[in-house]
Amino acid sequence: MRRRRRTTSLLLGLVLAGVAASFAAPAVGAASPDEIDSRPVRISAGPVTAPPTATPERRALLQRRLDRLAVKEDLPGVSVAILFPDGSTWVGTSGMADIATKRPVTADTAFALASVSKTFTAALIMALRDEGKIGLDTPVVRYLPALPIDRRITIRQLLDHTSGLRDFFLDARIDKALLTDRGRVWDAARSLRYVGRPYFKPGKGWHYSNTNYLILGLLAERVGGAPLGDQLQARFFGPLGLTHTFDQVDAKPAGPVAHGYRFAPGHAAPIDLSDGSTVAPFTSVVTAAGGAGAIASTPTDLVFWARALYNGVVVSPGSVKAMFDDVRLTAKQDPAIPYGLGVQAIELDGHPAWGHSGRLLGFRALMRWLPNERMAIAVLSNQSRTDPAIIARSLLRLALAPAAGCPICRADR
């Protein structure tokens, strides 16, 4: 029987992507993954004389490096995919999806995406806009009249985090509520109880807030006339063949799912966060996440999603342009990270990159499309302390290195 749609998200040590957070008992302090990932990296991979491809030698070198990185960073498990310009792919895995049963991470193991989920929610909103069902600068209350928010807040301001709505994840009370009963299913009304006073008036600043995407999920359901997960399946997952991507609230996994792990002082081993269900990391946080972060996927699905999304395959080219044009608009508000309509625009090891990162207790995720190189990379891990950009940068250098006379490649032999 399908669970009733629930929408919220947590802070739990959890920052679905973009807000620094820590929680007490058990404490897990960490810097914002988006802030870490957005720091300009000026070390370039150097000129690429010919488009790189996933040759057998390069595949072997990438896997060898991933294995070393997994050990160095003490990751329970990690899965990575790189999509090359010619359409070839490399998929690498290392470590365990379930430590207790010694179940390894495989190419079809799904991981919680946390805020990378926002790219799907934003794409759905833009698709509804393409169909003339909504307007970006229309007040949200036109579609959700009973919503207790400032009546001036527009859909655009939800998408680009200029609404001023406070992030309900950051309420000091929510961690205990979520952790006390990890198997409980949350709904949006319960989450909205934790929204405090606004950061600022609509349009007068920038502050990352999961509340924005919680509401966007509700809006999409109202306008689209179906649960968020059903719409994503019909519009994106199914047509694109993303067979291992699913909304954990509305659908069951098509394959194995990784357990999420946290590390705490005084505990030598990673602590499994599973509540015994197939929901990762556990039911309360995922049903709390809704449009802000309830999706699970594999890195292979994500690299093809990045290519489709940012090349105008799933929404109109005009909508893609609008998503990136908005980066210039939010720049006036001095955002923590260059942000448009559901998209981060940063540099990854000196290469312009589009996408999103994500974090919640027990998982970290990163998806990037490199428009100049026509490549995509996705890194998923079942822990929340190590920035996946570390893995992405290292593997990207190797992926972009010239095939012949490559000192980086020789160093990895």
Q: Has residue 318 got a pLDDT over 80? A: yes
Give the burial class of 24: count Cβ atoms within 10 A of its Cβ; 0-12 exposed, 13-18 middle, 19 or more buried.
Answer: exposed
Over range 378-401, report the average pLDDT: 96
Residue with tokens 């952790």: 179
Would you place residue 412 in the very low, low, confident or very high pLDDT band (cuts 50, 70, 90)?
Answer: low
37 falls within a domain:
yes
Q: How far apart are CA 296 and CA 304, in angstroms?
A: 15
Contact 125, 220 (CB under 8 A): yes
pLDDT tens readout for residues 362-378: 999 999 999 999 999 99
Q: How far apart are CA 74 and CA 84, in angstroms?
A: 28
Would you place residue 103 in the very low, low, confident or very high pLDDT band (cuts 50, 70, 90)?
Answer: very high
92 strand-pairing partners: 80
Q: How far apart are CA 111 and CA 249, in angstroms?
A: 14
pLDDT tens readout for residues 49-84: 578 999 999 999 999 999 999 999 999 999 999 999
Would you place residue 321 in the very low, low, confident or very high pLDDT band (cuts 50, 70, 90)?
Answer: very high
**Residue 56 CB coordination number (10 Å):** 7
158 falls within a domain:
no
Check residue 312 and give its pLDDT: 96
211 falls within a domain:
no
275 falls within a domain:
yes
Helix or strand run (H / E) with residue 191: helix 188-192
Q: Domains in the chain: how many in total?
A: 1
Q: Has residue 407 got a pLDDT over 60? A: no
Check residue 27 and give its pLDDT: 25
Residue ranges making up the domain that contains 405:
33-123+227-411
pLDDT tens readout for residues 145-194: 999 999 999 999 999 999 999 999 899 999 999 999 999 999 999 999 99
Contact 247, 229 (CB under 8 A): yes
Would you place residue 403 in the very low, low, confident or very high pLDDT band (cuts 50, 70, 90)?
Answer: low
Domain of 335, CATH number, reads 3.40.710.10
- pTM for this structure? 0.88
Check residue 44 and give its pLDDT: 38
Over range 195-217, report the average pLDDT: 97
13 falls within a domain:
no
168 falls within a domain:
no
88 falls within a domain:
yes
Q: Has residue 42 got a pLDDT over 50? A: no
321 falls within a domain:
yes
